Amino acid sequence: MSSTSRKTYTLSDFKVELSQGFGETDVRVAEYVVTEQLKKAFDKALGIVKAAVTSGNSHAAYLHGSFGAGKSHFLTVLHAVLNNHPATKSKPRLAEAVAGHEDWLRGSRFLMVPYHLVGSADLDSALLGGYVHTVRELHPGHPLPAVYRSDALLADARGQREFLGDDARFLEWLGEGAKLLAPGPAAPAQADPDDMPMLGGPAAPAEGGPAGGWSSEDLDRAFAAATDDDPHRERLVAALLAGPMSSYAQGVRGQAGAYVPLENGLKAISRHARSLGYTGVVLFLDELVLWLQAHMGEQDFVRDQVQRLVKLIESADSDRPVPIVSFVSRQRDLSQLIGSDVAGADVQNLEQQIEYLSERFDVVDLEDSNLVEIIKHRVLAPKPGMAAARDDAFRLVESTGDEVRQILLDAQGRTEATWDDFRELYPLSPALLNVLVDLSGALQRERTGLKLVQELLRRRRDDLRLGELIPLGDLWDVIADRSGAAFTPRLRRESEIAHRFHGRVREELLKKYGSPDDQRFRADERFVKTLLLASLAPNVPALTRLNGTRIAALNHGTIRSRVGDAGSKATKRLKELQVPFDSELRSEGDSTDPVFHLHLSDIDVEPLLEEVQGVADQLGYRRQWIKDQLWSALGIKDTQSFVCEREVVWRGTRRTVEFVFGNVRDPHLPDEEFAPQSRGSIRIVLDYPFDDGDHSPMDDLQRVERLRAGRSEPTLVWLPHFFSEQTGRQLG
């Protein structure tokens, strides 16, 4: 396969860290693909910044997109636009979006502050400490903003003052910081104190005291001040941070409790940014939802952090000389996060808080449909002169039957690819990309769509021939590499179970075919891997109703056969695999063209119950799970009907055994359900191993005794609560 470019990528090539991207502007802008939808997204983001600048009010917006949608890369390019970087003026589509904002961008200057929230103690320390870190790098030597709870700092300074015993020596000890205590330029008449150059303090005293203006009384006042907003205390703290205690700011970065409340700190950084000549401050918050998700067991903490987010735009201390604009990366709605990952009575209260928050945040969408266009340009662009070879190869795909073509196009999926899109995506299919996009929400952040596509191509570069497609089943290999490590905790257990089942299937196929290089081995394994993907992403359109034709089409070229024959061969192979794996590999519907699915039965029920607590009937989910375990252990195919059957040989005669799972004492289970449906059959009724209210196993036993009178049908009732001779009671 040689028609597409084969650049070698490392694991980090497609993931942009905000702090790194800001220093690689030329490269990041050059490689960025601006689609029509992204052009609109840039225009909306710039409109949000414009609204903040023209009104003077702070604004906040979610940057919403799935994992791998390029949120960090988008913010890196937006940073370049707001900084008037020349590369943005010539970038196709991006230049068109920027052109409509040239009037206000031309004279503006923004301080960009990137945040990577994973690992942060809380929002206050992350936002305020991150701002200080950025300012120290961009403006070394400039006084820092008054964002610290400075009691400990001043206590150390007070001890040093007492040790030196002389204020002149103390001011000498301040070194460079003492310059901040010297008088500044005369203040204009009726000047706003916030306009003063040194962190918002008052005009410096007249000459004559220590440091050319400060007296011992001034120092006493600064040390005695009770709050950080006292101008003398504020100026002394700035002097200490710029002088002998400059390491304090770096040392406490990220420590909860080291900073003033967020609303006060945001006012301080706004004043500080204006003193540096900036038009506004733009905060880029990355991985917010991942960070909150890591704390979902601490409901009070999460609730508090969600409430603090409102302070980005609304605050009791809202006097901000320059606006603060916040862009928050979000890979899914916070309400979905709360609703699915938190159990308990507080769910509704949390959802109400988040609804309150969502009404105050704008949303800039990065749609999944961009992935197709981005992959075309960044991964699948033909080598120079090879476009014709690619088109010739694609004609072999075009020659397939209409049903196969429609399955590969996957018109019901996330992205609406055309046949021309398919040609430019070759050797990938739109169906494969749609499955990848839908699974992205369950993957760890380092496994972006672009990385997985590149890994798919790398694995097949030596054996994929022109005219062949990458089979969908191969996606399992790159997603499930290192077992559950690819998935977020929500799906990690399920993926580990799937990984173990895959290992058992490989062992069986090795016994059957002798070698993993056998074409039949590879085909059967791809079919099973397609079903494994469907078990982890059951709602993906491309993976629903997987009959033989659909599975063969999604793995086009895996079975070499006459047109229209691949589906029947795939059905035959999967039916053969049902023999050793009848409890896991199941089918339903027409026996000549069944729909296949996997039932991986040892999934732990407790995470599922916690996930639906307060949303679904907990008892109903328990009943279904226990029924699944019983049917799996007894080798019964679950046809989703009230009565399920299994053929057995009893006393030399083949008999049909009918199984019912229900509450024996409940009158909603009518007496008729204790009798076999057909002559010669045997019915087994299995009682629930739990009940509600004041009911006890005796209620079940009493009904069994009542039904025994006058009954002759071969029916067995199993009461799991009785571990004695009463465990099973035969009605006839």
Residue 348 pLDDT more than 70? no
Mean pLDDT value across residues 81-101: 90
The predicted pLDDT at position 443 comes to 60
* Most confident of the ranges 160-164, 231-235, 582-586: 582-586
* Most confident of the ranges 212-221, 359-368, 497-506: 497-506
pLDDT class of 538 with cuts at 50, 70, 90: confident
Measured distance CA(67)–CA(440) in Å, rounded: 6
Q: Where is pLDDT greater, at 131 or 625? A: 131
Measured distance CA(523)–CA(474) in Å, rounded: 11
Give the closest residue to 222 by CA, choosing from 267, 177, 284, 185: 177
Bridge partners (DSSP) listed for residue 110: 280
pLDDT class of 303 with cuts at 50, 70, 90: confident
pLDDT class of 205 with cuts at 50, 70, 90: very low
Strands 728-730 and 595-598: unpaired
pLDDT class of 50 with cuts at 50, 70, 90: very high
Mean pLDDT value across residues 716-722: 70
Angle between helices 167-174 and 151-164 (to 10 degrees): 130
- Judge contact between 279 and 55, C-beta under 8 A: no
How many C-beta atoms lie closer than 10 Å to residue 482's C-beta?
Answer: 7
Mean pLDDT value across residues 615-636: 73
**Paired tokens of 637:** 């195919």
403-413: b (≥16 Cβ within 10 Å) or e? ebbebbbbeeb
Mean pLDDT of the chain: 76
Measured distance CA(291)–CA(119) in Å, rounded: 7
pLDDT class of 482 with cuts at 50, 70, 90: very low
Residue 351 pLDDT more than 60? no
Residue 709 pLDDT more than 90? no
Give the chain's radius of gyration (CA, Å).
34
- Judge contact between 52 and 323, C-beta under 8 A: yes
Mean pLDDT value across residues 602-628: 58
Q: Which of 35-44, 194-203, 377-386 has the lowest mean pLDDT?
A: 194-203
- Judge contact between 306 and 353, C-beta under 8 A: yes
Question: 64 in helix, strand or coil?
Answer: strand
Residue 343 pLDDT more than 60? no
How many C-beta atoms lie closer than 10 Å to residue 437's C-beta?
Answer: 22
The predicted pLDDT at position 370 comes to 78
Give the closest residue to 71 by CA, choosing from 516, 568, 440, 477: 440
Residue 288 pLDDT more than 80? no
The predicted pLDDT at position 21 comes to 46
Q: Where is pLDDT greater, at 509 or 467? A: 509
pLDDT class of 467 with cuts at 50, 70, 90: confident
* Most confident of the ranges 503-517, 590-604, 669-683, 707-721: 503-517
The C-alpha angle 110, 116, 122, rounded to 5 degrees, equals 105
**Paired tokens of 405:** 């073509």
Question: 280 in helix, strand or coil?
Answer: strand
Tens digits of residue pLDDT in 164-189: 888 788 877 877 666 667 654 333 33
Measured distance CA(109)–CA(197) in Å, rounded: 18
Residue 456 pLDDT more than 60? yes
Sort 465 into a burial class: Cβ within 10 Å, 0-12 / 13-18 / 19+: exposed
183: which residues sit within 8 A by CB, 6+ positions away?
203, 204, 205, 206, 207, 212, 213
pLDDT class of 618 with cuts at 50, 70, 90: low
**Paired tokens of 233:** 């205390």
DSSP 8-class letter at 148: B
The predicted pLDDT at position 49 comes to 94
* Most confident of the ranges 180-189, 207-216, 434-443: 434-443
Residue 659 pLDDT more than 90? no
The predicted pLDDT at position 67 comes to 57
Residue 721 pLDDT more than 90? no
pLDDT class of 397 with cuts at 50, 70, 90: confident
The predicted pLDDT at position 318 comes to 62
Q: Which of 116-120, 176-180, 723-727 has the lowest mean pLDDT?
A: 723-727
**Paired tokens of 242:** 């710029």
Residue 474 pLDDT more than 90? yes
Mean pLDDT value across residues 684-703: 78
pLDDT class of 530 with cuts at 50, 70, 90: very high
- Judge contact between 573 and 524, C-beta under 8 A: yes
- Judge contact between 240 and 122, C-beta under 8 A: no
Quickly list H helices, 480-597.
489-513, 519-536, 548-554, 566-578
**Paired tokens of 646:** 């299994």
Bridge partners (DSSP) listed for residue 686: 661, 718
Give the closest residue to 431 by CA, choosing from 598, 552, 331: 552
Q: Cis (ω within 30 of 0) for the bond into 667?
A: no
Residue keyed to tokens 């206050």: 124
- Whole-number percent of the chain with pLDDT over 90: 17
The predicted pLDDT at position 190 comes to 32
pLDDT class of 694 with cuts at 50, 70, 90: low
pLDDT class of 610 with cuts at 50, 70, 90: low
- Judge contact between 437 and 583, C-beta under 8 A: no
Measured distance CA(551)–CA(534) in Å, rounded: 11
Give the DSSP H or E segment for 362: strand 362-365
Mean pLDDT value across residues 517-532: 94
- HEC-encoded secondary structure of 179-234: HHHCCCCCCCCCCCHHHCCCCCCCCCCCECEHHHCCCHHHHHHHHHCCCCCCHHHH
The predicted pLDDT at position 81 comes to 92
- Judge contact between 732 and 714, C-beta under 8 A: yes
Residue 513 pLDDT more than 90? yes
Bridge partners (DSSP) listed for residue 330: 64
Bridge partners (DSSP) listed for residue 234: none
Sort 699 into a burial class: Cβ within 10 Å, 0-12 / 13-18 / 19+: middle
The predicted pLDDT at position 729 comes to 47
Mean pLDDT value across residues 132-146: 83
Q: Where is pLDDT greater, at 244 or 31? A: 31
Q: Which of 157-171, 382-396, 438-452, 495-509 has the lowest mean pLDDT?
A: 438-452
Mean pLDDT value across residues 65-91: 83
- Whole-number percent of the chain with pLDDT over 70: 73
Q: What is the pTM of this model?
A: 0.61
Query: What's at 705, amino acid-wise?
Result: E
The predicted pLDDT at position 341 comes to 41
The predicted pLDDT at position 595 comes to 93
- Judge contact between 369 and 332, C-beta under 8 A: no
Measured distance CA(377)–CA(683) in Å, rounded: 62
Quickly list H helices, 323-386.
334-341, 347-358, 370-378
Q: Where is pLDDT greater, at 608 or 148? A: 148
- Judge contact between 143 and 238, C-beta under 8 A: yes
* Sign of the four-CA dihedral 156, 159, 163, 168: positive
Measured distance CA(497)–CA(504) in Å, rounded: 11
Report how far apart, in Å, the C-alpha atoms of 72 and of each of 23, 69, 700 are: 13, 9, 61
The C-alpha angle 479, 485, 490, rounded to 5 degrees, equals 95
